[in-house]
Amino acid sequence: MLWYKGWRESRSRFLLAAGAVAIYSLAVLVFAQTAFPPPQAPHLPYSAFVWSEFYGPWRAVAFSIIALVFGLGGLQRERALGTAAFTLALPVSRAQLVCARFVIGLVELTAIVMIPLVVVPTLSPVFVRQTYPWSQSVEYAALFMSWGVVWFAIGFTWSALFAGEFTAASASILSPFGYLVIYANVSQGGRRFLAANPFAMMSGDLDLQFNGRQLLTGHPPWLPMFVLVLVVAALLVCVWRVTVRQNY
């Protein structure tokens, strides 16, 4: 029941996001039937075209916003709606409530990133008569999820701290901008600690083969990804402690 309840509460935004990403992915491939290669760059590799349309920095920003929105909700929102008493009456602990909502959001976020992962390699030969490596789609999906889970956890944290849904949403959307301001000062304008730049890491700028093909080479950034997992774990513990102590 707990999992079904979590799905019912989040399914509208998930289906909206999934539909938007699916439509966008199909539209890009349909558009590419006549628009690829572009007249101004007749020798543009298809892999570079895919990167610019699906995995470039602005696409990473869009995915980050989706992740932040997916993190919103929880008992604070239910308290505002007057349904928190029902949820707390269920025969489960508050820790279980936190974990269930986190896992459901994580599964939904993974499903979103899987859409272009499947659509691009599968339908590129059909629509564009070009191929795109599955391995590249998997690696870019992993990079998107690396910081995507962090943004999700940040939205998750704000929703546990603030009772007002608008306040939590505003704090979530402003979080990337605040982080980038801090990062720019610490990293001397992005010249240091490149792995700490979320959109550079998500779009593969840490390890791109800069020959115009925009293909990932070498090993994934395991150490930065491990650090991000620790950050997510710390935020999850924070949400758990706040939820356990909060009077709803």
Q: Indicate the pLDDT class of residue 90, thresholds 50, 70 and 90.
A: low
Q: Bigger pLDDT: 198 or 40?
A: 198
Find the domain containing 223 and state its range: 2-245
Residue 40 has a pLDDT of: 82
**Tens digit of each residue's pLDDT (9 = 90 or more) over 114-152:** 999 999 999 999 999 999 999 999 999 999 999 999 999
Backbone angles phi, psi at 216, to 5 degrees: -70, 140
- The number of domains in the chain is 1
With contact defined as beta carbons under 8 Å apart, do 207 and 221 qualify? yes
CA dihedral 112, 116, 118, 120 (to 10 degrees): 170
DSSP state of 73: -
